[in-house]
Amino acid sequence: MIFEKSYNNSAALVKDEAGVEWIVIGKGIGFGKKAGDIIEESKIERRFKNTDQDTTLKTVTSLSSLALSLTNKMVELSQIKLGIKFDNYAYTSLADHVDFMLTRNKENLILDNQMMQWEVVKLYPKEVVVARELVAMVEKEAKVTLPESEVVFLTYHLVNVGFDKETVQETMELSKLLDGILRIVSLETGKSLDRTSFNYSRFVTHLRALLIQIIKKQERKNDGLDPVFGQLMKQKYPETSKVVEKIAYFIKEKTGYQLSEDDEVYLILHVWRVSNR
């Protein structure tokens, strides 16, 4: 690879033997280099083809060297621990989050996500353990103190990456089910869902996890929520409960699977958040 220019110490623009330009990421890959210098392949940890249509490039080239360096280490650890693989989209999404996380920390801005912590611990225990390791790594490397809510955010990133394992047929079925459920929520609540919000993102993440287990006919364990809690939730959010009943009927009709009481309680929480915030 021939070096053309540096974006920061960890990102550079290079050209291969065929004259194709790439954005490459790697520790110190852009440090002290001049146009025409050779970049060794062993230094490259991730590469993006330099095309105007690829909007992820704008994100990658605008991120700090520290954010990219941390992301590389986080991706490596996550792939080893969970057996998942980050594509360029997942990598960029995580890197963007890390950069924003460091900015929030510097400006002392904390995004409260305490209400979701109990849920992710129950639903995604393996990912939570790794997310805690990632938080500890960032705190050590960047010399910062991060809020507990970052464990939740990072857990959702890890869960999303793990979803890439379904087959094409399963993906098509998943898409149809997701679309149907989101239509039900929108029609029954009379609200247009904000697809850019974090509430929407974690709702879809939860749905994907649930639906993939149903489609793959994986054994689903009851989380053991207190039945009294479930009844309280239905009494507190009666309109949302009716929406969830329609979702449960839709899933039963399409897959033959009957949602458990625990499933419905989780969906009540998500549907209420996504339609009221």
- Superfamily name and number for 166-276: PRD domain (1.10.1790.10)
* Torsions phi, psi for 148 (to 5 deg): -60, -25
How many residues are given for the chain?
277
pLDDT of amino acid 1:
85
In the CATH scheme, what architecture does the domain 2-51 have? Roll (2.30)
Least confident of 116-120, 146-150, 169-173: 116-120
Residues whose CB falls within 8 Å of the CB of residue 176, separated by 6 or more in sequence, listed in order: 254
CATH 2.30.24.10 maps onto the chain at 2-51
Contact between 117 and 148 under an 8 Å Cβ cutoff? The reply is: yes
State the Cα–Cα distance between residues 250 and 263, nearest whole angstrom: 14
C-alpha–C-alpha distance, residues 186 and 194, integer Å? 10
What integer pLDDT is reported at residue 187 of this predicted model? Answer: 95
Looking at the chain, the domain(s) classified CATH 1.10.1790.10 span 65-163, 166-276
Determine the average pLDDT of the residues in 149-172. Answer: 75
Lowest mean pLDDT of 8-22, 37-51, 106-120, 222-236, name the range: 106-120
- What confidence category does residue 166 fall into, taking pLDDT thresholds of 50, 70 and 90? low
User: Can you give the pLDDT at residue 215?
Assistant: 87
% of the chain beyond a pLDDT of 70: 87
Q: Answer whether 46's CB lies under 8 Å from 38's CB.
A: no
Instruction: State what percent of residues in the chain have pLDDT above 90.
Output: 33
State pLDDT tens for residues 55-109: 677 778 888 999 999 999 999 999 999 999 998 888 988 999 999 999 888 877 7
**Could you tell me the fold of the domain covering 65-163?**
PTS-regulatory domain, PRD (1.10.1790)
Mean pLDDT of 223-229: 73
pLDDT at 58: 73
β-bridge partners, 11 = 8, 25
In this prediction, residue 36 carries a pLDDT of: 85
